[in-house]
Each structure stands twice: as structure tokens, then as C-alpha cells.
Amino acid sequence: MDPSRHIVLIGPMGAGKSTIGKRLARDLGRPFIDSDQVIRERTGVEIARIFDVEGEAGFRQREKDAIADLLNEPACVLATGGGAVLDADTRARLRDQGMVVYLDTSVAEQLRRTGKDKRRPLLQTENPQERLEALMAERQPLYEATAHITVSTDRGSIGQMVQRIMAALEEHPA
Ligand code: S3P
């Protein structure tokens, strides 16, 4: 594993990017950074507020800028928002500057984990299952094309998932 390369977690809402990322960073002795958290700190408001005021396009631009900046910082474990891969420049940067790990998660599991989420604007809908399925249909090919490594997070403890990721990173030639 190249210590100068970022480890980037991609995947849908409820994949466990933040929970797994924090543990992975701790075990590797690297900083953990969550791009949504950086956007909250930069703007001083919640993500939902950015969607309300600037629309999804405004949020995507902020997300693109934040990720580009974070990739120029010292190597960390970076958790990205579920829609970060929608942007072609971001996809290219992530692959170029990071080892990208796709946390593959079924819609059923995402639903279970996001439950009655009030923070994620895209889930404030009558039918979150339908929304998650539509997002997955659009994004799965992008997650797969961006990732160096894919790890399922449907089953197992956080510790086991972290072990699986570390083993896959060790085996990967890059
Ligand atoms: C989004 C996922 C969220 C956040 C925003 C949009 C998405 O992050 O960036 O609400 O488009 O899937 P998480 O994947 O961390 O929930």
C-alpha cells in the first residue's frame, strides 16, 4: 500500500463510508476526512440547506471543489458523498490520486441504515426505496468504473469490513 496515496471510499448513502472510514483511518494511522463534513464547515450550514438555496447543481460544484482541494492535502482516508462520482473530473482525480474503494451495498441494507433520515435531502421523499433504486441504477456503473477495489458492506462487523478492505488494498498492485 503506497503511504503517499489517499484511500478514497465511494458508494451510496448508507454504505458505511464514514463509520468504516473512521476505523480504517485509525488503524492505518492516517487522518480521516469526510467531504460532506468539509462542505458543512466551509459553508457553515447543513447539506440540506445548500440544496434548498443553491439546488443540487450548487451542491455538486461545492463537492467537486472540496474533493479537488482535499486530494492535494497529505494522504488521508477520504469518505465522499454518494453522488461525488457523477462528475467526470472528480472520477478521474479520485482514480489518479487515490486508491478508490467502492463499498457495495444493497438497497435493502441502505434503507435499513438510513431509516428515517432527515439530514439527506435526496431521501426526503414519499418513497425512499424507489429513490435509492433509481440512484443505484444511475450510479452503479460509475462506482464500478471509478473503483480500484470493490468490497461488500452488506454483512459483517465494522472490524471485519475494515479487515477486508486492508487485505484487498495489500493485494492490489497499484
Ligand atoms: C448524496 C449523498 C450524501 C450527501 C448528499 C447527496 C447523494 O452523502 O453528499 O446528501 O447524492 O447520494 P452520503 O453518501 O455520505 O450520505
Residue 148 clears pLDDT 70, i.e. is over it: yes
13 CA to middle of ligand 1, Å? 6
Cα-based angle 32, 115, 25 (whole degrees, multiple of 5): 10
C-alpha of residue 143 to centroid of ligand 1, in Å: 14
- Name the average pLDDT for the chain: 96
Q: What is the pLDDT of residues 88-125, one digit of tens each?
A: 999 999 999 999 999 999 999 999 999 878 889 999 99
Q: Has residue 129 got a pLDDT over 70?
A: yes
**pTM exceeds 0.85, yes or no:** yes
Put the strands of the sheet holding 77-79 in their side by side order.
32-34, 77-79, 6-10, 98-104, 149-152
Which residues in 15-164 belong to E strands, given as ranges? 32-34, 77-79, 98-104, 149-152
Taking the C-alpha atoms of residue 72 and residue 74, their distance in angstroms, rounded to an integer, is 7
Task: Give me the residue spans of the domains in the chain.
Answer: 6-168
Residues of the chain with pLDDT > 70, as a percent, come to 99
Our mutation pick for probing the ligand 1 site, out of 35, 54, 122, 138, counting the most ligand atoms within 8 A of Cβ, is 122
Residue nearest to ligand 1 atom 8, measured at CA: 81
Q: Does residue 25 register a pLDDT over 90?
A: yes
Strand partners, 32: 77
Cell numbers linked to 2: 503506497
Q: What is the pLDDT of residue 174?
A: 67
* Answer CATH for 6-168 from 3.30.70.340, 1.10.150.390, 3.40.50.2300, 3.40.50.300: 3.40.50.300
